[in-house]
Chains A and B, each alone.
Chain A
Amino acid sequence: KQEVTQIPAALSVPEGENLVLNCSFTDSAIYNLQWFRQDPGKGLTSLLLIQSSQREQTSGRLNASLDKSSGRSTLYIAASQPGDSATYLCAVGPSGFQKLVFGTGTRLLVSP
C-alpha cells in the first residue's frame, strides 16, 4: 500500500527566503506526482504535475523535482511571499490511474 510522507509538517519563514518542501513515497511504481496548495476553508489548487517520465516541472517561482528511484519529490519555492502561506500537499498517482494518494501536508507560514 502506497504511503506518502511530507516533511516538515509545519514551516515558518520570513519573507524572501528560498525554501524546500519534501515528499517521500514508499512505492516507486507511480504514474505521476502532483503538488497542490490548500488555503484554509478552500479546496486544493493544482500547482505542478510531474509525469513519471519527467524529472522536474517549473511554474514561476515554483520548481518541483521527482526522483522515482529514491521515492522522493521536492517543491522549491523561491523568494517566498506572505501570499505563499498555505498548506502544501503532494500526491502520487499509481501506475495507469489518476486516483491520487495524498501526503499529510506541510503547513507554511511566510511572515512579512
Chain B
Amino acid sequence: DARVTQTPRHKVTEMGQEVTMRCQPILGHNTVFWYRQTMMQGLELLAYFRNRAPLDDSGMPKDRFSAEMPDATLATLKIQPSEPRDSAVYFCASGFRSGSYNSPLHFGNGTRLTVT
C-alpha cells in the first residue's frame, strides 16, 4: 500500500536551532504539498511543487522557511532559525495531476514540531 513517508515523526528543539523535515512522496505522484496544522489556525498551505518546481510558497514566512525538492523522491522543509510559534504538526501530501485530472491527495502522518 503506497504511502507518503515523513521523518522525523517528532522533533523537539530549542529556539534558534535549524529544523529540517523530510518527505518521501508516493512514487509516480508529481505534486507535493507542505501543510501546517495548529489548533488555532487549522490546516494551512505553506508551499507546493509540481514536477519538482515550486509553484506557490506564499503561505510560508520566507525569512525563515524554505522548501525544496532535490529529487522526485524527496521534499524538504527547513526552518532557520526556529521560533516557539513554529510549534505545530507539519504535513506533507502528494498527488498526481495531468490535464484536467486531479487525483486525491495522500497525506503523511506528519512531523510534530515543538520549539522551546
Segment at the B interface, from A19-27, A64-72, A76-84, A100-108:
A100-108
B105 lies within 8 A of A46 (CB): yes
Determine whether A13 belongs to the interface, using a CB cutoff of 8 Å to chain B. no
B103 to chain A: which residues have CB within 8 Å?
49
Known contacts A89-B43, A104-B42; decide if A43 and B110 are in contact (CB<8 Å).
yes
B108 lies within 8 A of A43 (CB): yes
Known contacts A34-B104, A99-B33, A102-B42; decide if A44 and B91 are in contact (CB<8 Å).
yes
A102 to chain B: which residues have CB within 8 Å?
42-43
B4 to chain A: which residues have CB within 8 Å?
43
Please provide the chain A residues from 82 to 112 with a CB less than 8 Å away from any CB of chain B in the complex. 89, 91, 93, 97-105
Main secondary structure of the interface of B (DSSP, over half): strand
Determine whether B77 belongs to the interface, using a CB cutoff of 8 Å to chain A. no
Report the interface size class on chain B. Answer: 20 to 34
Taking a contact as CB atoms closer than 8 A, the residue among B102, B106, B109 that contacts A93 in the complex is B102
Determine whether A32 belongs to the interface, using a CB cutoff of 8 Å to chain B. yes
Determine whether B25 belongs to the interface, using a CB cutoff of 8 Å to chain A. no
Quick one: closest B residue to A49, CB to CB? B104
Q: How far is the CB of B63 from chain A (nearest CB, A)?
A: 22
Q: How far is the CB of A100 from chain B (nearest CB, A)?
A: 7
A44 lies within 8 A of B107 (CB): yes
Q: How far is the CB of A99 from chain B (nearest CB, A)?
A: 5
Q: How far is the CB of B2 from chain A (nearest CB, A)?
A: 12
Please provide the chain B residues from 91 to 112 with a CB less than 8 Å away from any CB of chain A in the complex. 91, 93, 95, 97, 102-110
Q: How far is the CB of A74 from chain B (nearest CB, A)?
A: 18
Known contacts A43-B110, A93-B102; decide if A98 and B42 are in contact (CB<8 Å).
no
A44 to chain B: which residues have CB within 8 Å?
91, 93, 105, 107
Taking a contact as CB atoms closer than 8 A, the residue among A43, A97, A104 that contacts B91 in the complex is A43
A43 lies within 8 A of B45 (CB): no
Q: How far is the CB of B1 from chain A (nearest CB, A)?
A: 12
